[in-house]
Amino acid sequence: MATPTKRATVYFDPIIHKALKLKSIETSKSISELVNEAVKEALAEDAEDIVAFEERVDEPLISFSEMIKRLKNDGRI
């Protein structure tokens, strides 16, 4: 049984569209398949980032100026 799909209109830069068409031909995948795979990968990366942020939520925050001072004191800049 096929996975149900939803239709959406996406506007690509002409060069990006050409690249997608060429990749589609070379990989024997539709542009929709390529875009779905890319979006799934991007969302998976976002999910990993969210987990990382949540794991560090209790860490103390420092300001940019404080970080610069620390780097200077450590001789890194």
pLDDT band at 8 (very low <50, low <70, confident <90, very high): very high
Q: What is the pLDDT of residue 3?
A: 80
pLDDT band at 2 (very low <50, low <70, confident <90, very high): confident
What's the Cα-to-Cα distance from 1 to each of 28, 37, 40, 57, 74, rounded to whole Å? 21, 20, 21, 42, 61
> Mean of the per-residue pLDDT values for the chain?
95
Higher pLDDT, 47 or 2: 47
pLDDT surpassing 70 at residue 1: no
